Amino acid sequence: MLTLVEHLTGTKQMSAKFFIDTNIFVYTFDSTALIKQKKSQKIIAGALESGLGVISYQVVQEFINVATRKFKNPMSVHECRQYVETIMQPLCEIYPTFDLYKKSLETMNDTGYSFYNSLILSASIISHCKTLYSEDLQAGHKISGVTIRNPYK
């Protein structure tokens, strides 16, 4: 029987780590985009189940900002804290360092991505992920061993 991650990705080689961008977390709360919501929920459940999902401090910060200010029904501080502690904290491996900033500047220069998108990509590289799930970056691109994948296409 396939694991949730294998089912979602269509591959059995799930010993590889994968990085999850902020929008995946945001879509889990978007009842106006049910297909994206379900796929996002599967990615996050698979990340927690397998122990292979990774996020960075930036993903946590962006999520908190969106969840408490931009959701149709914003989360309370208590609700947001509970979600962050339960769902995001176990996945968070990358924290700000000058090595991360230097790598992000190199990535920005090499790819033309914005600094913040380069931070996400660099975090996925530094954490040795094989896949970066995001709808904000160019799907199919492979950069420093990381393949960008839009899970909604």
Q: Which domain CATH number covers 137?
A: 3.40.50.1010
Average pLDDT over residues 47-63: 98
85: left (phi over 0), alpha (psi -120 to 50) or beta: alpha
Average pLDDT over residues 125-136: 96
The whole-model pTM stands at: 0.90
Domain that holds residue 63: 4-149
Counting the structural domains of the chain, the total is: 1
Average pLDDT over residues 3-18: 61
Residue 9 has pLDDT above 90, yes or no: no
